[in-house]
Amino acid sequence: MNSRRITLIVAIVLAVTTGLLTLRYLNSVNQTAQVAVVESKPVVIASRDIPTRAKITPDMLTLVKRPANQVEPGAISDPHAAIGDVSLIAIPMNSTITDSKIGQPAAVGLTARIKPGMRAVTIPVDAIKSVNGLIQPGDRVDVLASVQKGSGDRPRTYAIIRGALVLALNSAIEPTPDESPAPGTSGNVPQTVTLGVTVQQADLLTVADLNTTLRLALRSPNEPLRAEAEEPLDFQDATPEPQHPPQPAVPPVVAVAKKERPSVTIVDGDKLIEGNQ
């Protein structure tokens, strides 16, 4: 092998090596450029599990930096923007705090659930009237009014409201966990129920609560609200005629004949004088 051929082989090896090194360098430069293009953004995450409807406090939040292409839409970048709000859903630990997960306290209150033209009316209930406490917020119920009529007349029940929305039981506006009560107990039976009704139904429900006996009937969620018509309540039936107590019998007055005194004859000389004793 002459020196000319050796020189050629060495040149080829050097050229290949130089090409490989150049390609590797270009790849590294390209990766560095790509990393530099992806900026990092500050993101607020949950430092612990945050339950639903919990007020956001500083100890619940942590500020971190994440690549901009991995940040959720609506992510909060300033902890002060979330402090004081209320969690609308349960937020797990290390989850990003977004504006869709938190809101003002009014957003989770009862007023946010009342549609325009509707009213919230609370009535007292017990185990029987509330279907043994099995009704939950969000259910639909019929309101039945039982009227006790006068003596001798049979009582009657009217379905005065159909498909009323249950807004709250006592002060709870969220369904409670389904826990079976212990044997021999009535469970967590509510004392009050708040219904969402129209303005006219609110007036009717208030008067019916004062003059009749109310009871709730739980509806199927698959049944149309207008499957059956409401029954108008005649409040004349709710006011039975007053029953006057029987008057004691007055004994008849018997006329007593006046007894006549016996007459006496007196002899005065030659005169006869008649008189009474």
- CA 127 – CA 136 distance, rounded (Å): 13
- CA 138 – CA 120 distance, rounded (Å): 13
Q: What integer pLDDT is reported at residue 182 of this predicted model?
A: 39
Residues in the chain, overall count = 277
Q: What integer pLDDT is reported at residue 200 of this predicted model?
A: 94
- The tens digit of pLDDT for each residue in 221-261 reads 888 877 788 888 876 644 444 555 556 655 655 555 555 55
* Res 11 pLDDT > 80: no
Q: Which long-range contacts (CB under 8 A, 24 or more apart) does 109-114 make?
A: 109/173, 110/167, 110/168, 110/173, 110/194, 113/167, 113/173, 113/196, 114/167, 114/196
Q: Helix or strand or coil: residue 241?
A: coil
CB 221 within 8 A of CB 227: no
181-189 mean pLDDT: 52
- CA 158 – CA 228 distance, rounded (Å): 12
Residue 217: pLDDT band (50, 70, 90) is very high
113 or 231: which leads in pLDDT: 231
Q: What integer pLDDT is reported at residue 185 of this predicted model?
A: 39
Q: What integer pLDDT is reported at residue 21 of this predicted model?
A: 81
- The tens digit of pLDDT for each residue in 18-49 reads 878 887 877 776 666 555 556 889 999 999 99
The per-residue pLDDT of the chain, averaged, comes to 79
CB 272 within 8 A of CB 263: no
HEC secondary structure over 151-197:
CCCCCEEEEEEEEEEEEEECCECCCCCCCCCCCCCCCCCCCEEEEEE
- CA 117 – CA 104 distance, rounded (Å): 23
Q: Which two tokens stand for residue 155?
A: 């009582």
Residue 262: pLDDT band (50, 70, 90) is low
Q: Helix or strand or coil: residue 61?
A: strand
Domain 40-108 grouped into CATH 3.40.50.150: no
- Residue 48's contacts (CB-CB under 8 Å, 6 or more residues apart) are 59, 60, 93
Specify the pTM: 0.50
